[in-house]
Structure 1
Amino acid sequence: MAALARSGWEVEAVARVIDSAPVGPSLRRYANGAAIIAGGRAPLAALASLQDVERVFGRDRRGQRWRSRTLDLDIVLWSGGTWYGPRLAIPHPLFRQRDFVLHPAAQIAPDWRDPVSGLTLRQLAARAVRRR
């Protein structure tokens, strides 16, 4: 969170970190969390800033898609609703199926609505529990 603040982001809320199984072929477990950050950036500028923070932590985006990584920052939701481009889609296309995204996000923003489904993060997280 300190690295985000140093990059000009205001960290408004941070969820507890949870342990989760990998997506894809990795064998190691992952630590996942969520944060609400504000910075007045357009979506692509926000993405570039977050990828700069990933690089500071040693993230290399070249090569295998599902390989282990030191840090993975995603824009899952945005106060502007939806945004679609060739490098970025908001909301994140898979977030509704990923309990490791939904549960931390619901901790800090339970009433935030998915602009596509209209459901709150609390409702989406409850559905993820029932799917297990």
Structure 2
Amino acid sequence: MSSTYLVALGSNRRHRSYGAPEGVVRAAMEELAAFGTVTARSPVIATPAMGAAQRRFANAALVLDSELDPPALLAALKHTERAFGRRRGQRWGDRVLDCDIIAWSGGAWRSKGLAIPHPAFAQRRFVLDPACAIAPHWRGPNSALTLAHYQARLTRPRPLPR
């Protein structure tokens, strides 16, 4: 049975073959087609560094139809990260490639090392901005809110307290 996944990608380090982070993300989007059918690709956007990272990121999202179950897709994504040169290191540090499953058509999934929807997606513009470019109406499990709603919560101006 095929499932549909929303996958976020990011890079902030050069790759010897793919060049700057934007090229890394574009190449990774092509590589992920090996795991199913990519039905939508967001633009690659530049985002500020976070945490221990020292360089700006290139971020994107894609929608993937795949026969893989969530743990198998996660294993495939982690294999792809390693193939692109990612090494274990500092959390929030610089990396050649980062791929995360943000959501899937099967609803919620919880297992050791994997939580879908991604626990922090609603607080991350670097995930929501590209995801909303391709799947603004995607709803989280057990939620009436769409990705566009979550994005609006992060981006709309809030009135100042009186």
TM-score (norm 2): 0.75
Corresponding residue SS for 2:103: coil
CA contact (8 A) 2:49 2:57 kept: yes
| Letter paired with 1:3 | E
Equivalent residue for 1:79, pick from 105, 126, 131 = 105
Indicate whether 1:92 and 2:118 are aligned. yes
- Would you tell me which structure has more strand in proportion to its own residues? 2
* Number of the residue aligned with 1:24: 51
Q: Which has the higher relative contact order, 1 or 2, with Cα contacts under 8 A spaced 6 or more apart?
A: 2
Indicate whether 1:46 and 2:58 are aligned. no
Distance in structure 1 (CA, Å) of the matches to 2:138 and 2:131: 9
* Change in CA separation of 1:104 and 1:111 when aligned onto 2, cut-off 3 Å: same
Corresponding residue SS for 1:117: coil
* Number of the residue aligned with 1:119: 145
Listed as ranges, the gaps of 5+ residues in structure 2 are: 1-28
* Number of the residue aligned with 1:101: 127
Distance in structure 2 (CA, Å) of the matches to 1:37 and 1:131: 33
Residue 131 of structure 1: how far off its partner (Å): 6.4
Indicate whether 1:10 and 2:37 are aligned. yes
Q: CA RMSD in A?
A: 1.5
* Number of the residue aligned with 1:69: 95
CA contact (8 A) 2:107 2:116 kept: yes
The structure whose Rg is larger is 2
**Aligned residue pairs, count:** 130
TM-score (norm 1): 0.92
| Letter paired with 1:25 | A
Q: State the Cα deviation string for residues 93-126 of structure 1 (Å, max 9, x = none).
A: 0000001101111110111101143201111111
* Change in CA separation of 1:65 and 1:130 when aligned onto 2, cut-off 3 Å: same
4+ long deviations beyond 4 Å: none
| Letter paired with 1:4 | L
Distance in structure 2 (CA, Å) of the matches to 1:107 and 1:36: 11
The percentage of counterpart residues that share the same residue type is 51
